Homo-oligomer: A and B are copies of this chain.
Amino acid sequence: MDLTPSPLARPFPALPVIDGVTLRVARAGYKAWNRSDLTYVELAAGCAVAGVFTKSACASSEVEMGRAQVEQGRARALIVNAGNSNAFTGYRGREAVEQIVAQVAEALDCPGDEVFVSSTGVIGVPLPKDKARAGVAAVLGAESCGWEDAASAIGTTDTFTKGAAAAAFIGDQRVELAGIIKGSGMIAPDMATMLGYVFTDAAVDPAFLQEMLSKANEATFSCITVDGDTSTSDTVLLFATGKAGNAPLTTWDDPGADAFYAALHDVCRELALLVVRDGEGAQKFIEIAVTGAADDASARRVGLAIANSPLVKTAIAGGDANWGRVVMAVGKAGEPADRDRLSIGFGGTWAARDGQPVADYDEAPVAAHLAGQDIRIEVDLGLGEGRATVWTCDLTHDYISINADYRS
């Protein structure tokens, strides 16, 4: 596996300390590698939690348990295993997760359903219980570490570590948010699940925390795609320790709720875009802005149809302003569209308007835009007020090499 950083990589940013969050990493040895692969996050008592999970019908035991655990709204610990996704492993996989939960819950003297577990890596191999037990024992006694160590330990085929931060005022109280994420395909189930974790010291009621995370997810993580292949393990968890001491947020009407949501949205968006920037084989970052759709949800589906089209993605890889392929992708999306109202542009230059090529279309500025690394495709459906922005990367020879030439 080639771990040369993606040409679209970003350096790891400075992330704030979040009061009530302690990070530790250790080496369980889930694969034959010389690196930390087990991450433990200890959370202050009373920490609120919210989560969004893959919609896969074949989700892992970790996801199944996480979906149930998040209902009660509180978390004391997070364990992340890297190198083995433990997906499609039947009762043996389930037993491994239950063992980890019991071991951590005993150490913290907390209910088992407050211990969250994620796993990422090869599919179809039950997580080895002996390695997990020894690894958890080691990590419980490890020194605390910083964000970049944790972001690195949760990674698998990621070519760079990924984090993001934001802050907001709730009343007079400044609150901090810090997030880490891993992923380099929207999913490659034997190597590249997307796992994201956001931590804040804000005090937020769990039900409202879930409402905000679900809303932010719709506009960020749910608007990215690398290859259209949805993971069996995708998970985003949001932990709010409450240590900032603000008046707890419970509804959108609370002072500071909008500011906190904006900061949360920013962190989620940045984390999501970092995953696209590490998309397998990516050479170009592509933003697709859809306007004039019947509604926002329709705009998002049209955007994702474009973002998932191998013909659009290869055209961008080749620097080809092939707007005919964008027309094709709009047409196949299954959403309301009218050929004769459709307009398509690249980087601010319309190539086609109202169902026809622009008469005096000058391809020079478009070619210059497409020669760059950050590409923007504009699509106006001319029907209504619905809009959405989605993000993807191009489809290159390196994607084929990573996924075909490499024999797992």
Q: How far is the CB of A36 from chain B (nearest CB, A)?
A: 24
Counting CB contacts under 8 A, is A136 at the interface? no
**Contact (Cβ within 8 A) A320 B88:** no
Main secondary structure of the interface of A (DSSP, over half): loop
* With known contacts A123-B327, A407-B318, A310–B311 Cβ distance under 8 A: no
Stretch from A44-52, A214-222, A256-264, A397-405 that touches the partner: A397-405
Q: CB-nearest residue of chain B relative to A226?
A: B310
Contacts of A405 in B (CB 8 A): 318
Contacts of A123 in B (CB 8 A): 324, 327-328
0 or 1 for each of A181-207: is its CB under 8 Å from B? (1 = yes): 000010111100000000000000000
A224 to B107, CA, bound (A): 55
Contacts of A356 in B (CB 8 A): 88-90, 92
Name the residue in A92, A340, A404 with the highest tally of chain B Cβ atoms < 10 Å from its Cβ. Answer: A404
Question: A339: which of B58, B122, B318 is its contact (CB, 8 Å)?
Answer: B58
CB neighbors of B among A387-408 (8 A): 394-397, 399-401, 403-408
**Contact (Cβ within 8 A) A404 B408:** no
Q: How far is the CB of A313 from chain B (nearest CB, A)?
A: 8
Counting CB contacts under 8 A, is A319 at the interface? yes
Q: CB-nearest residue of chain B relative to A344?
A: B88
**Contact (Cβ within 8 A) A58 B400:** no
Contacts of A310 in B (CB 8 A): 227-229, 310, 395, 399, 403
Residues of A within 8 A of B (CB): 54-59, 87-90, 92, 122-125, 185, 187-190, 227-232, 308-311, 314-315, 317-320, 322-325, 327-340, 342, 352, 354-357, 394-397, 399-401, 403-408
Can you list 17 contacts pairing A with B, beta carbon distance less than 8 Å?
A57-B330, A58-B328, A58-B342, A87-B327, A124-B323, A124-B324, A124-B357, A187-B328, A189-B311, A189-B324, A190-B322, A227-B311, A228-B308, A229-B310, A232-B327, A232-B328, A314-B403
Question: 15 more A-B contacts (CB under 8 A) besides A310-B399, A314-B399?
Answer: A57-B333, A57-B335, A58-B331, A122-B324, A124-B352, A188-B325, A189-B327, A189-B328, A190-B322, A228-B308, A310-B310, A310-B403, A314-B403, A318-B406, A397-B397
